[in-house]
Each structure stands twice: as structure tokens, then as C-alpha cells.
Amino acid sequence: MAKGKIAERSPLMMEMQPGTYFWCACGKSNNQPFCDGSHRGSEFTPKEVKIEEVQSVFWCRCKQTDNQPFCDGTHNKL
Ligand code: FES
């Protein structure tokens, strides 16, 4: 699977409320880590994520993670 462009070389930790979110996979969104529609016309689509309970999430912003949409530490090797 193709990986998106690096938006930031660090994850973003957020306290998330239950709900459905759309993680930016292409790396072009100006609303990282979430999709803002900038992927249109590319091979990428956002990843839908359902958060069931209040929790801290480390969202991947380098887009190179093997555990989308979550940080797996890959940014440390870029
Ligand atoms: Fe990146 Fe939508 S803007 S996937």
C-alpha cells in the first residue's frame, strides 16, 4: 500500500471523545491528523476510525506507520 507524504515527523496525542473520525492518509491535509479533502484526485482516501470510548490517541502524522492511523514509532527512523 502506498504511503502518504510526511506531514510532520511526530505523532499528535489527542484526548478523543467517542465518535467517527477520518484520518488523513495522503499527508496533504491542512487539518492534521484529519482529512480535509485535499486527497481528491490522488490515489489516497482517508481511513475511517471509530473511537468507542474516551481515550488518548497518538495519531500518525508522518504517514509511514504500519499501524494506520496510529503511531508505531516509524517517524524515529525517517
Ligand atoms: Fe489526506 Fe483526505 S486530505 S486523506
The partner residues of 31 in beta bridges, in order of sequence, read: 34
Query: Mean pLDDT, to the nearest integer, of 40-63?
Result: 98
Handedness of CA 5, 9, 16, 1 (dihedral sign): positive
Residue with cell 468507542: 52
Q: Residue 1: its pLDDT value, please? A: 72
The closest alpha carbon to 36, from 27, 19, 69, belongs to 27
Tell how far the Cα of 32 is from the centroid of ligand 1, in angstroms: 9
Residue 47 CA, closest ligand 1 atom number: 4
- Determine the pLDDT at residue 61: 98
In whole angstroms, give the CA distance from residue 33 to residue 35.
Answer: 7
pTM: 0.95
